[in-house]
């Protein structure tokens, strides 16, 4: 199985190609200038991994929540590629991918993933990663809230994502995570989007391009 993945919901512009368990990655930190970097990165990825669009079994993108422009960029590119090659699209939660990255770093199965939503709020989601790392189960719907409104998990858990850095005093001191990996795992990556997309494809959850939509959680500005 071959999957192309794009993740541009935060400051990292990330692309990945998953081919039967092997992952090739091209990514860079762009300070949200994704429109300038994502297509050149995809060209570099295709040259490095030596694949054509006709090879793809699926195209995945980080559907958010996250930066509105970044999420739209990933969605539109994934939809365009899918229309060109006829492959299904998979819209993967960027917070779920962040949680998977936290599990890879720490081995802790419960991850509370956050991203800075600005305006004094965070995007957050609580996830459990299965022991194999092949699937990630949502324990709460992805939500946007003020940091002081996030409930503390009742089981051992790990903090990941940029939201912890931005709102460190409110989040860490109040919620007291079992493990804080937010400095090591700050943003979702396309490699984790691809891994989650493979499981979705195997379960038959690929969608037509026009049905794979971004997740904003609040009105775009």
Write the CATH number for 161.
Answer: 3.30.420.40
Question: Is 69 contained in some domain?
Answer: yes
Q: Whole-prediction pTM value?
A: 0.96
Q: Measure the CA–CA gap between 33 and 158, rounded to whole angstroms.
A: 30
Q: Which domain holds residue 138?
A: 94-180
> Over pLDDT 90: what percentage of the chain?
90
Is there a domain that residue 42 lies in? yes
Task: Say whether both 116 and 66 belong to one domain.
Answer: no
219, pLDDT greater than 80: no
In a domain, residue 171? The reply is yes
pLDDT bucket at 220, cuts 50 / 70 / 90: low
Each residue's pLDDT tens digit, 16-34: 999 999 999 999 998 778 8
> Do 20 and 129 lie in a common domain?
no
- Structural tokens at position 129: 């990663």
Task: Answer yes or no: do 69 and 45 share one domain.
Answer: yes
Residues 80 and 35 in one domain: yes
Q: Are residues 88 and 14 in the same domain?
A: yes
Q: Is residue 219 domain-resident?
A: no
pLDDT-based confidence at residue 221 (cuts at 50, 70, 90): low
The predicted pLDDT at position 167 comes to: 95
pLDDT given at position 30:
82
What domain count does the chain have? 2
pLDDT for the residue 33: 85
Tokens linked to 27: 């990514």
In a domain, 220, yes or no: no
pLDDT level of residue 169 (50, 70, 90 thresholds) = confident
Mean residue pLDDT of the chain comes to 95
77-107: b or e for each residue (b if 16 or more CB lie within 10 Å)? Answer: bbbebbeeeebbbbbbbbbbbbbbbbbbebe
pLDDT value for 79: 97
pLDDT band at 112 (very low <50, low <70, confident <90, very high): very high
Residue 141, CA distances (Å) to 51, 145, 176 in order? 35, 12, 21
Quick one: 10 and 68 in the same domain? yes
143 & 204 share domain = no
In a domain, 142, yes or no: yes
State yes or no: pLDDT of 90 exceeds 90.
yes
SS3 annotation, 58-77: EEEEECCCCCHHHHHHHHHH
Query: Is 216 inside a domain boundary?
Result: no
Looking at the structure, tell me whether residues 53 and 115 fall in a common domain.
no
Q: Which among 154, 152, 157, 155 has a CA at the least distance from the CA of 108? A: 157
Average pLDDT over residues 47-61: 97
Q: In what order do the strands lie in the sheet with 58-62?
A: 22-29, 12-19, 2-7, 58-62, 89-92
The secondary element (H helix, E strand) that includes residue 198 is helix 190-202
Residue range 76-103: mean pLDDT, rounded: 97
Shared domain for 41 and 103, answered yes or no, is: no
39 CB-near residues (< 8 Å, 6+ apart): 77
Tell me how far the alpha carbon of residue 34 is from its chain's centroid: 15
Q: Any idea what the Cα angle at residue 94 is, between residues 177 and 71, rounded to 5°?
A: 135
Token pair, residue 115, equals 């991203």
Label residue 49 exposed, middle or buried (CB < 10 Å: 0-12, 13-18, 19+): buried
Predicted pLDDT at 163: 96
Say if residue 89 is in the same domain as residue 6. yes
pLDDT of residue 127: 98
Total number of residues shown for the chain: 221
| pLDDT given for residue 34 in this prediction | 86
Residue 3 parent element (H or E): strand 2-7
Mean pLDDT of 100-109: 96
**pLDDT > 70 fraction of the chain, expressed in percent and rounded:** 99
What tens digit of pLDDT does each residue of 57-73 get? 999 999 999 999 999 99
217 occurs within a structural domain: no
Residues 69 and 107 in one domain: no
DSSP per-residue codes, 95-121: HHHHHHHHHHHH--SEEEEEEEEETTE
Q: What would the pLDDT profile of 173-186 be if each residue is shown by its tens digit?
A: 889 999 999 999 99
122 plus 157 within the same structural domain: yes
- pLDDT, mean of residues 205-218: 94
């Amino acid at each position: 199985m071959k999957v192309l993945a794009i993740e541009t919901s935060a400051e990292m512009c990330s692309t990945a190609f998953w081919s039967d368990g092997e992952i090739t990655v091209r990514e860079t930190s762009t300070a949200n200038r994704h429109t300038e970097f994502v297509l050149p990165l995809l060209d570099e990825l295709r040259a490095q991994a030596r694949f054509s669009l006709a090879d793809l079994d699926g195209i995945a993108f980080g559907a958010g929540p996250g930066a509105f422009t970044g999420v739209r960029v990933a969605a539109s590119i994934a939809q365009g590629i899918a229309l060109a090659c006829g492959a299904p699209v998979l819209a993967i939660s960027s917070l779920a991918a962040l949680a998977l990255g936290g599990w890879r770093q720490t081995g802790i199965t419960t991850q509370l993933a956050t991203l800075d939503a600005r305006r004094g709020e965070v995007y957050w989601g609580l996830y459990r990663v299965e022991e194999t790392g092949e699937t990630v189960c949502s324990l709460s719907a992805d939500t946007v809230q003020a940091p002081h409104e996030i409930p503390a998990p009742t089981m051992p858990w790990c903090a990941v994502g940029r939201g912890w850095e931005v709102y460190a005093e409110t989040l860490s001191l109040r919620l007291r995570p079992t493990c804080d990996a937010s400095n090591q795992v700050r943003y979702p990556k396309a490699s984790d989007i691809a891994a989650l997309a493979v499981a979705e494809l195997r379960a038959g959850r690929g969608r037509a391009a026009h049905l794979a939509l971004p997740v904003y959680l609040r009105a775009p500005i």
